[in-house]
Amino acid sequence: MTTGKSGGKAGGKASAGARDMRVKVKKAGKLKHSSQLWLERQLNDPYVKRAKEQGYRSRAAFKLVEMDDRYKFLKPAQRLVDLGCAPGGWCQVAAKRIGLEQGKGRIVGIDLLPVDPIPGVDLIQLDFMAEEAPALLTERLGGRADGVMSDMAANTTGHKKTDHLKIIALAEAALEFAHDVLAPGGFFLAKLFQGGDSAELLAGLKRDFTTVRNVKPAASRADSSELYVLATGYRRAAREAEGRDAEQMGDA
């Protein structure tokens, strides 16, 4: 690994000098070019540096920080579910914002991968689409959730249409899970890709939540097509309850 030196004669353009200051990785052994580029990007990413400095497990933590700073959906004493929570950056942010260290609220994180312990967070190694998952998480929360968060993304294939379809399917599965666990007024936050066929998903969100927003936080890389859908004011459960009450009154 080498740090490029400023090239050219004295008095050269500042932008050239700035470019040369980027950390570069020498290709060694069987390191693929794509892997080399990824490593260079990580080494030069200011959010990666900030994550290390502030003790966050991933740069993705700042995506949640920025979205919540703007829309204030994380509140003290909430009950939250983090789907696909590994390595735990979103759980760390949410724990601070709901006051978990002061004994306020509860967070359950679920992932197929093992996650190192996070103070106060209940971590489960399980597929969130498993039949028993909604009931288990509701039990561990001690009631229905105030929010369901998902930063999950399926492994990409490089084929844009296929990758869009895969992440939409994952978001739809996360939404179905949210229907099983969300309390009235709760929120749903999930990752999508720009340009994907998300019309049906968004129509369902607009029907079941009072407000639906597409958000691209600054921490999301500029060359990435990812964005997030934030739906607040969950009302499907309340509407279904009203429908059951109306049926019961009709039968009386």
Binding-site entries for S-adenosyl-L-methionine: 88, 90, 111, 127, 151
- Containing 206, the helix (H) or strand (E) segment is helix 199-208
Strands 145-150 and 79-83, by their bridges, are parallel
- Of 96, 191, 206, 216, the catalytic one is 191
Order of strands across the sheet that contains 122-125: 122-125, 106-111, 79-83, 145-150, 182-193, 226-234, 209-215
Structure-token pair, residue 133: 């998952």
Q: Which residues are annotated as a binding site?
A: 88, 90, 111, 127, 151
166 included as an active-site residue: no
- For residues 50 and 231, what is the distance between their CA atoms, to the nearest angstrom? 28
Q: Report the C-alpha gap between 182 and 87 in whole angstroms.
A: 24
Structure tokens given for 72: 């204030």
Under a CB-based contact definition with an 8 Å cutoff, are residues 214 and 228 in contact? yes
| Burial bucket for residue 207 (CB in 10 Å: 0-12, 13-18, 19+) | exposed
With CA atoms as reference, report the closest residue to 205 among 231, 184, 185: 231
In 3-state terms, the chain is what percent helix, strand and coil (to 5)?
A: 45, 20, 35
Catalytic residue numbers read: 191
